[in-house]
Amino acid sequence: VTADRRAASAPTAAPATGSIAPIANIYGINGGCVLGSTDTEPWRTGEATGPLLAGDERYQLYTLSGPVGEATGSTPFSEIPCPATQNIEMTPPVQLDAPVIAVSGDWNAMPRVPTLTSTEQEVYQQAAAEVLRGLGLETDDIRLEQVIRIDLEGDGSEEVLVTATRISQETGGGVLADPGDYSVVFLRKLVGETVETSIVEQQVYPLAQGGEVVFRSVVEGVLDVDGDGMLEVLVTNSYYEGGYMTVYRLNGHSLEASELGCGCGV
């Protein structure tokens, strides 16, 4: 399916055949959910995109490491307990251990491939400690899960995405937060001669004295979801009964949540 921006219709109108460029989050062997579509501005939500898809759309499949093949999507459908979520099945089934994002469009959604670097780098451990301190958590227990180098804008300058997560499971068993637990994603971007840090997602539990459910944040995709040459960042927040993926767009020097997102939880 191609994205014809010259003939893009209003989000509420059924577009001509071939004009929808849906994006899907594939989180199981049988499929996943529709994040939305990007052939209009503002972008369509997953809930608005689902009814516009007839099924049999072809998708390019991507992990953080690169393209991993193609699949055909079904007609989206909804079900309890998340009736607003537009579910989609893939043929053939996607049998990968890594998170997969499906993009239907006539462009290369991964013109630049992220580099997953060491989580032992002191500069990013210090940056994570500073981020947590700014969020009210003073801790020496810094646990980096992801350090991803990627040129988001295509200007030759790499940004760095960092995920830091500590879910101790000592008393909460990974379901409820223990004091000092956290999960944050932040962006490090060179602006002039200064590196600026901006928070993408934050879940911080300095005290955790109310039986708070603990959430984990992780970057699961870095893709050009609308064919403009700039890369978006796809982040999932999950907990023991579900999760939700959000697509972030670069706005100036930081990332902001877009209209694209989907998930389910009880």
Distance CA 196, CA 189 (A): 5
Residues 6+ apart with CB under 8 A from 157: 151, 190
Which stretch of 119-123, 164-168, 171-175, 262-266 has the lowest confidence by average pLDDT? Answer: 171-175
Of residues 122 and 6, more confidence is placed in 122
Give the helix/strand (H/E) hosting 184. Answer: strand 181-191
Summarize pLDDT for 118-155 with one digit per residue, the tens.
999 999 999 999 999 999 999 999 999 999 999 999 99
Summarize pLDDT for 199-224 with one digit per residue, the tens.
999 999 987 666 788 999 999 999 99
pLDDT of amino acid 172:
66
Distance CA 72, CA 89 (A): 8
Kindly state the DSSP code that residue 95 receives in the 8-state scheme. -
pLDDT of amino acid 174:
75
Q: Is the pLDDT of residue 183 over 60?
A: yes
Backbone angles phi, psi at 132, to 5 degrees: -65, -40
